[in-house]
Amino acid sequence: MLILPLSIFMTTIFTILIIFRVKTRHMLKYSEKIPGPKTLPILGNALDFGLRHEDYLDRIIQLVKKHLPVVRVWIGPFLIIGVTDPKHIEAVMSSHKHIQKAYFYATLMPWLGTGLLTSWGKKWKVHRKILTPSFHFQILEKFIDVFNSNGDILVQRLSSHVNGPKFDITNYIVTCTLDVICESTMGVSVKAQSNGTTQYVNAVSRMGEIVMLRSLKPWLYPDTLFAATALKRLQTKCLNVLHRTTETVIRTRKLDLLAETRNKGAEQREEHVFGRKRHVNFLDLLIEVSSNSGAGLTELEIREEVDTFMFEGHDTTSSCSLFTLWALAKHQDVQERVLHELRTIFDNTDRKAKYEDLQAMKYLEQVIKESLRLYPSVPLFGRELTEDVLVDGYVFPAGSNVIFIPQMTHMNPDYFPDPEKFDPDRFLPENTVNRHPYCYIPFSAGPRNCIGQKFAMLEVKSLLSKLLRNYKFYLGDPEEKMKLNGELVLRSINGINLKLERRDW
């Protein structure tokens, strides 16, 4: 009785292997010349990463260290080439040909669709061109009041912890950055800090787990198999929260614009907001473009971009802010140097920061950059190659996925001597002038670099400077070691536990 089912199973496996060999013949030819661990049939190296998503980043880093500077693994049918050398990174990242994201970005599409993060080809180029003006410096200047007002709320919320025991500051920072991205680029106040909003934040975190689990478990790739899992049911719940939130933001902004149009008159409204003489914020720009007959964005495309920027705009900046705060708490001498700079800029007054003040925070910017070197907000990203790439004697074959691991690249002693040391002076102008342009990639690089990096730097400067003018930060437990979790953004599994005192400004 078992002979027939067993023969069917073996035939199926054999057929899959034959198809795999045929479809990947070109990649197999070159992958054998790239160092990497032994593989299993069908699964490849999927089991090498363990089963818990919390362990993935450590496993990846250990694997890369063992085979530096290039490592090859197979995850099911996908050839993954991990690179850390700036020359290898530049060969792929600088190219206008290799702009399609790696295979695992497909697991983001139920959430983000084909927004700016996941799209490629003509759609990506058109949307990038449309959205770039919304991050012009003249627009960024107008966000300073939003940074200040939400920073004030954060300072007030933290006051209950003054001289108290250690506490995890993570949720305080995350809700603040969520308020900032919505109020500034979307023109809508979600009051995450005031309302204690956690549903959207939790849904983002859980989606990160789901994406990582699917990315490294080939048996979860087929939608038919994934649909039968508890993970799929969790994803559906998360997507309901995420899409409902972004749809509410879009609907609210449209109603606000309609009300303003009625109050001011359509002609005056168009001149005031959509006039060619000034730029508009991100969501207003999307709505304006969608109203242009024949050339507009669809309702779905608007939601995809809002989903993308609400996620990227709050989660990456919160990660950067959290790890920088932790570094400042650990390195009291660096915290004092930042304070000295702030006292010089503000002349010991309690006035609110202006755009020019944020631009003058040169040392604080060095601190943030050094934090991003050691704790890059996005721990992994990658591209799918459309043609062979020859570099340093290796051939990265067409169809393979080149993965970048910023944390490993940033630890290269050729560019960052004594790389484990936290040293903001690495980013003094005279120390960066001769560095390879692809040895430091926290915001990616090349044509697909982060469109919002200037916005992010201004926001983090505003947030941290306000906190440091009000509080002195200490580690909650100087002996505690962070356990890093690499999902969509870098997180500390055990939180960012700090103590604080009122600052004598």
- Are the CB atoms for 480 and 170 separated by under 8 Å? no
β-partners of residue 475 are 498
> Per 3-state DSSP, what percentage of the chain is helix, strand, and coil (rounded to 5)?
60, 10, 30
The answer to whether the annotation marks 320 as part of a ligand binding site is: no
User: How far lies 2's CA from each of 5, 7, 231, 475, in Å?
Assistant: 6, 8, 32, 62
Place of tokens 């003054």: 162
Exposure string of 282-314, with b = 16+ CB inside 10 Å and e = fewer, is bbbbbbbbeeeeeeebeeebbbbbbbbbbbbbb
Residue 217's SS3 state is coil
How many angstroms separate the CA atoms of 277 and 324, rounded? 38
Please tell me the distance from the alpha carbon of residue 45 to that of residue 27, in angstroms, as a whole number: 16
Q: How far apart are CA 475 and CA 495, in angstroms?
A: 12
Instruction: Name the token pair of 490.
Output: 């870098």
Q: What is the largest CA-CA distance in the chain?
A: 87
Report how far apart, in Å, the C-alpha atoms of 448 and of each of 65, 118, 382 are.
27, 11, 11
Residues flagged as binding site for heme: 450
Q: Enumerate the known binding-site residues.
A: 450
